[in-house]
């Protein structure tokens, strides 16, 4: 009787060990599979901004998110303006939902589009005209090598119109857009100062417009300020290449 009970305990332990090993192999294979094969996951849009009367004023449309062989997430969404006003700024949250270390985690980011707040720069591409749309989302792939990526969530946070009105829950949008424009202003002032310092020799300022150059560390940019400064530099660089130095010199003066 004792031997029989002992055999049963041993058998159960062996079965448990087998099941644990199978689970470990399966879960490891799932992680490995996602790292080495391409797949697609859903992008879930958390509602739209609806005007009184039920009209969907702002909508977001997304395709599926692609998980590349190196476990990088790639996706793109469109912000659709169904109003009669132009959009001058917007903040949209996107979150990567994943399983890591046995628990579900969420990594959230902001996608900002905004005019730079400088009247001398014409920014038609930064305005979402009535009936128009604009791409939003990450500027490039985001990598999570040790996670099982489940889905992407997208939520509109804030929309700013050309008449100054705002719609949306505004969890962080106002602050982030303000920082974005503040970064552009900081960089503009710094570049004007460098222009004065060189005796207004524009050819000595041109290298500072190189998009590959790091931004000046002395300006101590916050995250969104840095994005605004880069956007301002990109606009000036494009203006210089398409129109010549005269237009940029007017701004720096």
The pLDDT value given to residue 1: 46
Q: Mapping DSSP to helix (H, G, I), strand (E, B) and coil, where does residue 216 land?
A: coil
The pLDDT value given to residue 146: 87
The pLDDT value given to residue 116: 87
DSSP string over 88-140: EEEEEEEEEEEEETTEEEEEEEEEEEE--S-TTS--GGGSB-TT-EEEES-SS
The pLDDT value given to residue 249: 93
User: Residue 102: which of 147, 144, 71 has the closest Cα?
Assistant: 147
User: Residue 97: which of 154, 52, 140, 53 has the closest Cα?
Assistant: 154
The pLDDT value given to residue 29: 46
The pLDDT value given to residue 220: 94
Alpha helices by DSSP H, listed for the chain, are 2-36, 173-197, 223-243, 245-252
85: which strand partners? none
User: Residue 152: which of 203, 225, 76 has the closest Cα?
Assistant: 76
- Reading the chain (253 residues) residue by residue, the pLDDT tens digits are 455 555 554 555 554 555 545 444 444 544 444 455 789 999 999 877 766 555 679 999 999 999 987 889 999 999 999 999 999 999 999 999 999 888 999 999 999 999 987 666 655 556 899 999 999 988 888 999 889 999 999 999 999 999 999 999 999 999 999 999 999 999 999 999 999 999 999 999 999 999 999 999 999 998 899 999 999 999 999 999 998 999 899 889 8
The pLDDT value given to residue 197: 95
The pLDDT value given to residue 23: 44
First-to-last CA distance in the chain? 99
User: Residue 62: which of 94, 109, 97 has the closest Cα?
Assistant: 94
Q: Mapping DSSP to helix (H, G, I), strand (E, B) and coil, where does residue 165 land?
A: coil
């Amino acid at each position: 009787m004792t031997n029989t009970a002992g055999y049963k305990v041993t058998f159960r332990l062996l079965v448990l060990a087998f099941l644990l090993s199978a689970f470990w192999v399966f879960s490891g294979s799932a992680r490995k599979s996602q790292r080495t094969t391409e797949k697609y996951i859903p992008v879930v849009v958390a509602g739209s901004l609806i005007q009184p009367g039920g009209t969907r004023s702002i909508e977001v449309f997304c395709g599926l998110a692609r998980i590349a062989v190196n476990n990088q997430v790639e996706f793109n969404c469109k912000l659709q303006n169904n109003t009669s006003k132009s959009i001058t700024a917007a903040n949209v949250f996107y979150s990567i939902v994943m399983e890591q270390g046995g628990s579900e985690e969420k990594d959230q980011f902001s996608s900002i589009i905004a005019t730079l707040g400088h009247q001398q720069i014409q920014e038609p591409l930064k305005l979402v005209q009535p009936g128009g749309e604009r791409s939003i989302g990450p500027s490039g792939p985001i990598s999570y090598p040790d996670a099982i990526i489940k889905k992407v969530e997208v939520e509109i946070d804030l929309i700013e119109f050309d008449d100054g009105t705002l719609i949306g829950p505004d969890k962080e949008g106002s602050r982030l857009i303000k920082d974005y424009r503040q970064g552009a202003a900081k960089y503009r002032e710094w570049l004007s100062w460098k222009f004065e310092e060189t005796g207004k020799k524009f050819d000595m300022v041109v290298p500072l417009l190189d998009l590959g150059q790091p931004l000046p560390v002395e300006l101590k940019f916050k995250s969104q300020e840095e994005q605004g400064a880069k956007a301002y530099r990109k606009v000036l660089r494009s203006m210089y290449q398409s129109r010549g130095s005269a237009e940029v010199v007017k701004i720096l003066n």
